[in-house]
Structures are given as structure tokens and as C-alpha cells.
């Protein structure tokens, strides 16, 4: 393989270095292109742009491969806990028993949030979307920890902020749910594990022992692991860009939460259930809705289908489909929406339009069904995604700061008016 790419511009040939990753991913290094040639590249949506080098997550969309720090997602989802995977992503290695214990204990120490933050919740309208509440609350944490405002102050401070975020996000997420019900907030119970404690704060009673089926804990643990990182997607790129300005980590993660909220990204899991409910209310005619999705005059898309990088199958969807079946059988749930989902999956997978465009069910297609089975309300689905994605955002931010990457600042090709003179208002 050649080590340089040659590009001819205005009759002159330039050589650009080729970069090859450990999984043989190839890139043309254009970091000096503008200096040397005066040209920039144009790539809206960054479909062909490697924004960074990274050793966190490897993803091969054509082959349906996803590895965190080299470990296949299938093995992690089957054998690890979410906090173990969080440690792996953030610190780069699987923890020893002692390291995991210390990490878990440190997280438990920080699960409370400042009492004054409860007053913020009182001011939100009852129907406030929990994602709006969550991103504001996470950003607000920075006001309670002014020592975190310089994200590079010290390694210990960085670590403390990371642990605080992992510990407090479940509390704030559960409280945003409680707030939407006008129910009293539940304080964390630190003798419970991470997943059980979260479910307790959502559904438990302070005076009672909280019982939850292990299948539910296991499914939620799996879901969080599957969402834990996904390399340079929309919210992660947002985190890296915001963090590159040396903004504090709370605000940086808050920006990631906002990016995740969009229906084309993490918001899709909510949209999937709403779409299934819409199809059900319309009489359950799946073919009609598949036809609508194919109609270019109709803006409707099948939510939970297609992916920017997975063009054969989403390995997370394969794992989650199994977990979904297990949860529904174990909990004895017979959900008519699931029948519609299964029909939709079958019709779309056999349809030429979807086959030709490699549109398969993605992780959000099944995660919404599991969340629904667990009694998590629809507008909390993206919050669940945020809980899962947090360690990935942190790991990517940490890598970016440790590699001392420059501030993110793309170029553009200007297509507006060339210089023209101001026109006085009476002459317009």
C-alpha cells in the first residue's frame, strides 16, 4: 500500500501522508492541506472526515463490529457490569477486583446532589421534557463545583468531576422523572448496585425494601453497556468540540445531552414507540406505513431503521433483540406494539427499498420496547440513552484533553453575496 496520496491541484502535484489505524482503517492526512495548497475539503455531515485519532472504540459498519478498547461488545454485554465497562472506557483497561471496588465505592460516595438543586425542579412546568431538565441540571452542577471550572486544574480534580458525574446523573435523571409526576424525590440507596439504585429512585418507596426481577437488572445493565460508546457520533463530536474550548466538564456533557436529544440521534428510541402507537391507532396497517416511508414526497421515515455507519446490521440490535425477547417472556408481557414492531421489521427487511439502501433495525428499535416493558415512560427513553452514553462521552473528552487536541474550528466555503454597500432604509 502506498504511504502517500497524490493530489493534483492547478497543475501541481502534492503528496499527503496516509494514516493507517490498528484495524487497518485508512485516512489521508489533510491537516496541512490548506497551508500547503490553499484549499480546504468540503464534507457536510462529516461523512468522510476523521475528526481525530482515538483508541477507545472500534466500529466497522460494513461488518457490524463494535469493540470497546479492543473487547467485542458481545462479550462485554454478556459478562461485564456497566460500571466495569465505564472504567474500561475511561481508564483504558478492565479493572482488577480492587480497582472496581474502589471505583464503585467512589461513585456511591457522590450520588447525592446539593439540596438547593431541588428548588430548580420546582420551577419547571409539570410537563417539562426530562431531557431538557437533565441537560440544564448537569450544566447547573458546574455552579455548585466552581473548582471544576478549569477542567485541566489537576488530575485529581478531573477524576473527582468524572466520578461526581457518573454518580449524580442517575439521581438527576430519576428526579426529572419524579418531577414530571409531581412525586417526591427518592434519595439514593447506596447499598444497592448502580442499576438497582436507579430503578429504586424511579419506582421504589423510601420505607420499603425494593424488589426487582434480576432479568430486569440484567436487561438494563446490557442496554447501558450497549450505549456506552459509539465513537465519533453527533453527541460525542459535540462533547469533543465543546470540551476543546476548555469549557468545564459539566457544561461539556450537558451539550452532549442536548445533541443526543434530537430524533435523528438518541431521540429516535422515543420516536420508535410513538411511531408504533401511531400505526396502532391508525388500525395497524404496517404496509401503509412502509409505503409512506418509501414515498419521497412524504417526510415520514421508519424510526429505528437505518444508521449512518452500520450498513449491514447493527451488532447492538442483535444483542438487544435477544434481551428484549427474554424480558417480555420473563415478565409475561404481551404487548400489541411488539406485534406491530415484529411485522414492521419483517416487511421492511424483505422490501427492495430498504434492502437496496441497507436499512436495518438499529439499537433504538428494540431498546424502546424494553424500556416500555420495564415501565419507563416514553419521554425518559433518551435519558436512559444519556445514562448509558455518559462514560463514552467522558472517555472521549479525557482522551481529547490528554492528547492536547486544538480547539475544534472547521472551515467553510462561503456561498453568500460578495461585498456590497449598505442601502439606506428609505431606498430599499
Supply the residues annotated as catalytic.
Answer: 307, 364
Largest CA distance in the chain: 79
Q: Binding ligand CMC by CB under 6 A: which of 303, 317, 374, 376?
A: 303
Identify which of residues 228 and 303 has a Cβ nearer to ligand CMC in the complex: 303
Closest separation in Å from C-beta 259 to ligand CMC: 10
Using CB under 6 A as the binding rule, whether residue 292 contacts ligand CMC is answered as no
Write out the three cell numbers for 299. 417526510
Rounded least distance, CB 227 to ligand CMC, Å: 8
Tell me how far the alpha carbon of residue 385 is from its chain's centroid.
Answer: 6
Q: Which lies closer to ligand CMC via its Cβ, residue 61 or residue 284?
A: 61
Torsional class of 411: left (φ above 0), alpha (ψ -120 to 50), beta (otherwise)? beta
Interface positions, 43-82, toward ligand CMC (CB under 6 A): none
Give the residue from 328, 380, 364 showing the smallest Cα distance to 201: 380
Sole window of 187-195, 216-224, 251-259, 354-362 interacting with ligand CMC (rule: CB under 6 A): 354-362
Q: Report 248-277 residues binding ligand CMC (CB under 6 A).
A: 264-266, 268
**Least distance to ligand CMC from the beta carbon of 168, Å?**
24
Q: Indicate the residue among 58 and 200 with the shorter CB distance to ligand CMC.
A: 58
Chain residue whose CB lies nearest ligand CMC:
306
| Contact call for residues 252 and 237 (beta carbons, < 8 A) | no
Q: Binding ligand CMC by CB under 6 A: which of 362, 367, 382, 396?
A: 362
CB 134 within 8 A of CB 192: no
Cα gap 143→121, rounded to integer Å: 16
Pick 83 or 275: Cβ nearer ligand CMC = 275
Structural contact between residues 292 and 298, judged by C-beta atoms closer than 8 angstroms? yes
Distance (Å, whole) CA 294 – CA 140: 43
Strands of the 57-60 sheet, one edge to the other:
57-60, 65-68, 71-72
The three-class DSSP label of residue 3 is coil
Total residues at interface with ligand CMC (CB under 6 A)? 20
Distance CA 103, CA 109 (A): 10
Q: Which stretch binds ligand CMC (CB under 6 A): 18-26, 82-90, 250-258, 300-308?
A: 300-308
DSSP 63: T
- The answer to the question of residue 302 lying near ligand CMC (CB under 6 A) is yes
322 lines the binding site for ligand CMC (CB under 6 A)? no
Minimum CB distance to ligand CMC, residue 5 (Å): 25
Q: Which helix (H) or strand (E) holds 57?
A: strand 57-60
Which grid coordinates belong to 335?
404487548
Nearer to ligand CMC (CB atom), residue 239 or residue 268: 268
Closer Cβ to ligand CMC, 265 or 343, answer by number: 265
What gap in Å lies between CA 368 and CA 92, rounded to an integer? 30
Q: Which residues bind ligand CMC (CB under 6 A)?
A: 230, 233, 264-266, 268, 293, 301-308, 357, 359, 362-364
Amino acid at each position: 500500500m502506498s504511504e502517500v496520496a497524490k493530489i493534483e491541484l492547478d497543475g501541481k502535484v502534492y503528496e499527503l501522508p496516509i494514516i493507517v489505524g490498528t484495524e487497518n482503517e485508512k485516512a489521508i492526512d489533510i491537516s496541512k492541506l490548506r497551508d500547503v495548497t490553499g484549499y480546504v475539503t468540503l464534507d457536510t455531515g462529516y461523512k468522510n472526515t476523521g475528526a481525530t485519532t482515538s483508541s477507545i472504540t472500534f466500529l466497522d459498519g460494513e461488518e457490524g463490529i463494535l469493540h470497546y478498547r479492543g473487547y467485542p461488545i458481545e462479550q462485554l454485554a454478556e459478562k461485564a457490569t456497566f460500571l466495569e465497562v465505564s472504567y474500561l472506557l475511561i481508564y483504558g483497561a478492565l479493572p482488577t477486583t480492587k480497582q472496581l471496588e474502589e471505583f464503585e465505592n467512589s461513585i456511591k460516595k457522590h450520588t447525592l446532589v446539593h439540596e438547593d438543586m431541588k428548588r430548580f425542579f420546582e420551577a419547571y412546568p409539570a410537563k417539562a421534557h426530562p431531557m431538557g431538565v437533565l441537560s440544564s441540571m448537569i450544566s447547573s452542577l458546574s455552579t455548585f463545583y466552581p473548582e471544576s471550572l478549569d477542567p485541566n486544574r489537576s488530575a485529581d480534580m478531573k477524576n473527582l468531576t468524572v466520578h461526581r458525574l457518573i454518580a449524580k446523573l442517575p439521581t438527576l435523571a430519576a428526579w426529572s422523572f419524579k418531577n414530571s409526576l409531581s412525586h417526591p424525590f427518592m434519595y439514593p440507596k447506596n447499598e444497592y448496585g448502580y442499576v438497582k439504585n436507579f430503578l429504586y429512585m424511579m419506582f421504589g418507596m423510601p420505607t420499603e425494601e425494593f424488589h426487582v426481577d434480576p432479568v430486569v437488572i440484567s436487561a438494563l445493565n446490557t442496554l447501558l453497556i450497549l450505549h456506552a460508546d459509539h465513537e465519533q457520533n453527533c453527541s460525542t463530536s459535540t462533547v469533543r468540540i465543546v470540551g476543546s474550548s476548555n469549557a468545564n466538564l459539566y457544561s461539556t456533557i450537558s451539550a452532549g445531552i442536548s445533541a443526543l436529544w434530537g430524533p435523528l440521534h438518541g431521540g429516535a428510541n422515543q420516536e420508535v414507540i410513538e411511531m408504533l402507537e401511531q400505526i396502532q391507532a391508525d388500525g395497524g396497517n404496517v404496509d401503509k406505513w412502509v409505503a409512506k416511508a418509501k414515498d419521497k414526497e412524504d417526510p415520514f421515515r421508519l424510526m429505528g431503521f437505518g444508521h449512518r455507519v452500520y450498513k449491514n446490521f447493527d451488532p447492538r440490535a442483535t444483542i438487544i433483540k435477544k434481551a428484549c425477547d427474554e424480558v417480555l417472556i420473563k415478565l409475561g408481557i404481551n404487548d400489541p406494539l411488539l406485534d406491530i414492531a415484529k411485522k414492521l421489521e419483517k416487511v421492511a427487511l424483505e422490501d427492495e427499498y430498504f434492502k437496496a439502501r441497507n436499512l436495518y433495525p438499529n439499537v433504538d428499535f428494540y431498546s424502546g420496547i424494553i424500556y416500555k416493558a420495564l415501565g419507563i415512560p416514553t419521554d425518559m427513553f433518551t435519558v436512559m440513552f444519556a445514562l448509558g452514553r455518559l462514560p463514552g462521552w467522558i472517555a472521549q473528552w479525557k482522551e481529547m484533553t490528554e492528547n492536547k487536541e486544538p480547539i475544534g474550528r472547521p472551515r467553510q466555503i462561503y456561498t453568500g453575496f460578495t461585498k456590497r454597500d449598505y442601502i439606506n432604509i428609505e431606498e430599499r
